[in-house]
């Protein structure tokens, strides 16, 4: 039997313990499939005294993950600590400098430093694998870099944050307001320590930027992703969308256009009967569109101990087999700086606003929309429970319109003097 592949595991939270359990439980299966044993030789975490649901007694302990990354008895550095700077970045750089391969679940690290780390890895003939960083247990990285490698990718799209999908589907199914479900998600432990990473779309934006780099051969450009979280989605929006046959999702879309690379992570309405519309709870879904294959839909658990650890170990087994690819599917030196393009692809829009209930109010709004060159498909007044007699909620659905035209119309409507509060505009995505 060939010599074992020795892992140094940095991070013993949910994912790290999941990796330990898989290595211990499936040692024979992994050895048979990888062609050699895979073992853990050393681990690192901030609190050695913490009680953990795994036997760690057989592993050496390093307080400093950088020291772990440099150990002579570590072949692959497995980083599941998190954080885009600090110990995670320092330890990853140390591992590459010491000639180690790296497997990471850290989407933030790669979204901010992916190009530099990819160049460092390839300069020393090492590999960085990160299947677990995007969509948990769904093998979307392998799908893009291997299964669809012969395709010119047209679009990458998906629901990539399970917490946001849980909140939105819980609001819809239970009829609860955002604030109530947000607190429920916090109590259940679904939210990051900084909740804005989830509900602000940042976590999902990190993942989208990594998929876009692979799909379109560009350097990772997270700073160019259009981000809008779910905090402004009300229970009224959920109900009205449902009434029209749509569901609201935090949807990521990346596509290369003649103007450049569009990347957006924003709430969208999708048809209720579509695969994305039917997605419930914390499940993720990624849709890949290639010129030869057409549309591929991948669905599965987007987080959690087992699914994410499964993805980590898939990368480890590839390395044990001797299989290596450039970090983003092609040599880092060939990745190009993307020309960032604001989303300009026309689409229908859902617009909700509260107006003063007086003669001519709707006409003034319709005039602003018409002057922007936008055609109205539906417009109706909704009597909301508890709404004051002098105010009225108005719902407008447009025909396809350019985002810039929608923005221009929304900037003009307040000048009419009939608007109460800020309007809500949500793109209706064709999927």
Instruction: Kindly write down the DSSP assignment for every residue of 84-111, as one continuous string.
Output: SSTHHHHHHHHHHHTT-EEEE--HHHHH
Answer whether 288's CB lies under 8 Å from 223's CB. Answer: no
89 carries an active-site annotation? no
* 3-class SS of residue 193: coil
Strands 246-257 and 260-271: antiparallel
Question: What does DSSP say about strands 294-301 and 283-290: parallel, antiparallel, or unpaired?
Answer: antiparallel
Ordered DSSP codes for 333-391: GG-B---B------B-EEEEEEEE-STTHHHHHHHHHHHTT--EEEEEEE--TT--TTE
Q: What whole-number distance in Å separates Cα of residue 62 and Cα of residue 10?
A: 9
| Alpha-carbon gap, residue 48 to 12, rounded angstroms | 9
The answer to whether the CB of 255 falls within 8 A of the CB of 208 is no
Q: Are strands 246-257 and 391-398 parallel, antiparallel or unpaired?
A: unpaired
d(C-alpha 93, C-alpha 116), whole Å: 10
Between strands 153-159 and 419-428, the pairing is unpaired
Helices assigned H by DSSP within 46-139: 65-70, 87-97, 107-123
Catalytic residue among 100, 207, 224, 249: 207
List the one residue out of 43, 396, 429 whose CA is nearest residue 251.
429
Phi, psi angle pair for 327, to nearest 5°: -50, -50
Specify the DSSP class assigned to residue 323: -
Q: Which residues are catalytic?
A: 207
């Amino acid at each position: 039997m060939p010599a074992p592949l020795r892992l140094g595991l940095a991070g013993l939270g949910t994912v790290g313990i999941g990796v330990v359990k898989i290595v211990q439980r499936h040692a024979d299966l992994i050895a048979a499939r990888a062609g050699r044993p895979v073992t853990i030789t050393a681990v690192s975490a901030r609190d050695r005294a913490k009680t953990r649901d795994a036997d760690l007694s057989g592993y050496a302990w390093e307080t400093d993950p950088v020291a772990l990354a440099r150990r002579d008895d570590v072949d692959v550095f497995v980083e599941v600590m998190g954080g885009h700077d600090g110990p995670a970045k320092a330890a990853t750089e140390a591992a590459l400098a010491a000639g180690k391969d790296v497997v990471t679940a850290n989407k933030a690290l790669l979204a901010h430093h992916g190009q530099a780390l990819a160049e460092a890895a390839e300069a020393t003939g090492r590999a960085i694998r990160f299947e677990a960083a995007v969509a948990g247990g769904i093998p979307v990285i392998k799908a893009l870099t291997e299964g669809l490698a012969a395709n010119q990718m047209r679009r990458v799209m998906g629901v990539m944050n399970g917490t946001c999908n849980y909140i939105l589907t819980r609001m819809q199914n239970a009829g609860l307001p955002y604030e109530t479900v947000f607190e429920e998600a916090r109590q259940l432990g679904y939210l990051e320590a900084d909740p804005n990473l989830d509900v602000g779309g940042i976590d999902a934006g990190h993942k989208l930027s990594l998929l876009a780099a692979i799909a379109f051969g560009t350097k990772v450009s997270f700073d160019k992703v259009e981000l809008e979280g779910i905090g402004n989605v009300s229970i009224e929006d959920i109900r009205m969308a449902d009434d029209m046959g749509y569901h609201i999702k935090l949807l990521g879309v990346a596509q290369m256009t003649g103007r450049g690379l569009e990347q957006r992570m924003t709430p969208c309405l999708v048809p209720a009967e579509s695969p994305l519309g039917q997605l419930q709870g914390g499940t993720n879904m990624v849709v890949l569109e290639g010129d030869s294959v057409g549309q591929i839909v991948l669905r599965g658990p987007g987080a959690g101990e087992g699914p994410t650890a499964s993805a980590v170990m898939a990368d480890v087994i590839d390395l044990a087999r001797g299989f290596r690819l450039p970090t983003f599917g092609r040599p880092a030196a060939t990745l190009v700086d993307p020309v960032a393009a604001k989303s300009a692809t026309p689409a229908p829009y859902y617009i909700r606003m509260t107006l003063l209930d007086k003669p001519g109010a709707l006409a003034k709004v319709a005039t602003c929309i018409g002057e922007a060159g936008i055609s109205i498909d539906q417009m109706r007044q909704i009597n909301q429970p508890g709404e004051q007699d002098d105010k009225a909620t108005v719902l407008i659905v447009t025909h396809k319109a350019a985002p810039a035209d929608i923005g221009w119309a929304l900037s003009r409507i307040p000048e009419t003097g009939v608007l109460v509060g800020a309007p809500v505009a949500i793109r209706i995505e064709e999927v």
